[in-house]
Amino acid sequence: MTVGPTSALTRVLLATIAALLTFQLFTIYQGRHQAAPVQDQAAPQVPQQDEASSNFLTCTGDQGDDTCFDALVDSIPPYRDLDDECHGKPDEPRQEENSRSPRLAVVTAQFGAAKQYYEEALRTQMMLSKVHNFRLLVLRSKITDVLWNKPAHILSILLDEMAKPEDERLEWLLWVDRDVVVLDKCRTPAAFLPPSAALASRDDEPKTGTEGVNMLVTSDWNGLNNGIFLVRVGRWSLDLFSDIIAYRHYNPDIELKFTEQTAMELLLADERYHEAVTWVPQWWFNAYPGPQKPDDTENKGDTKEYHARRGDFLVHFAGVPHRGDAMRPWLDLAESGDWGERNNTPARDLDSEIQEFWRNQTSKDG
């Protein structure tokens, strides 16, 4: 069969169009999956995140649109402004970041009917993540039923991370419920971890002392409260969250008063897990709102140790009625930035308390 000039020209044009489309799709794919942009080598201590300000945020699931809190992300100040606020004025020399600081991600969930106060709380979590160069991993739609989405989301992250080379995977996860307002974005959650947390943690190596700590949790009058906790990425946590999800199916006769939270508490007491769990003071990273107003400079007589006060990291509105009204003054305070110990005299010295706590733990283990 002889091909005429017009037919040959048509084939050439079609092949050219196909090549262009393939290149365009490849470019789009690369743009969506590319990690943070290459840092400016002239100023390595200041990550240049703002060319693609959403790189720190990943949404999983579909909430009926293709956005990932775009408006909230756009409202976050540039990284340099956040860094200046936390580490000094622009003309002051910055201290080098701790090269042994563990790779950490903040994990949460936001799905269902949109509520402004929950999204504003998420914004405080965004600022924390951005200023410390953490990833923020947000579940946007249900994986399973009710509160069991928390362990399901965490397990999915653990599976993804464990499939990566060890030197590329995350080392710690900070779970925060959606009713958590970060008050001091300048405090890194890594400060709560034991000194050995920055060391490489291989599952096949024996652990001694605080190197064997795989989870930090807190309790209140009901026992474990898992609204906020820190967990190390590894085989231990993979087994734990697999067991949490399976618990109700293999133990149908056991009452789980607080659903997955109770299952988690029961498992943390099990001999397979309890030695790797450290229970820390509640106010470290799970303080509750107290009788005082957020702007009170002095604690009232009925203020409990677990109530949030000046200099604390965050406040958690667990079980608080009329949550939107209760959260409003704390959200306004977090937005103002007039809370962290760098701007005011803290009501308690968390840094010294944390150091003393881990010193005592190390002495016990020794």
pLDDT at 195 over 80: yes
Q: Establish if 94 belongs to a structural domain.
A: no
Q: Are 171 and 158 in contact (CB under 8 A)?
A: no
- The C-alpha atoms of residue 12 and residue 94 are separated, in whole angstroms, by 58
- We report the CATH number of the domain holding residue 213 as 3.90.550.10
**Strand-strand pairing, 223-232 and 172-176:** antiparallel
**Tens digit of each residue's pLDDT (9 = 90 or more) over 6-55:** 455 445 444 444 444 444 433 333 443 333 343 444 443 444 544 444 48
Residue 62 within a domain? yes
d(C-alpha 234, C-alpha 236), whole Å: 5
Convert the pLDDT of each residue in 246-266 to its tens digit.
999 999 999 999 999 999 999
The answer to whether residue 14 sits within a structural domain is no
Q: Is residue 31 part of a domain?
A: no
Digit-coded pLDDT (tens) for 52-78 = 444 899 999 876 666 799 999 999 999
CA separation for the pair 26, 4 (Å, rounded): 33
Residue 316 is assigned to a structural domain of this protein: yes
210 confidence band (pLDDT: 50, 70, 90): confident
Query: Domain containing 187: what range?
Result: 47-87+100-365
Whether 35 is in a domain gets the answer: no
Domain count across the chain: 1
Burial code (b: 16+ CB inside 10 Å, e: under 16) for 2-24 equals: eeeeeeeeeeeeeeeeeeeeeee
User: What's this model's pTM, rounded to 2 decimal places?
Assistant: 0.81
Higher pLDDT: 26 or 242? It is: 242
- Residues 97, 90: Cα–Cα separation, whole Å: 16
- DSSP code string of 328-355: HHHHHHHHHT--STTTS--SS-HHHHHH
Is residue 18 a part of any domain in this protein? no
pLDDT class for 365, splitting at 50, 70, 90? Answer: low
Q: Is 254 helix (H, G, I), strand (E, B) or coil?
A: coil
Q: Is the pLDDT of residue 93 over 80?
A: no
Q: Flag the least confident range among 160-164, 245-249, 295-299.
A: 295-299
> Is residue 302 in a domain?
yes
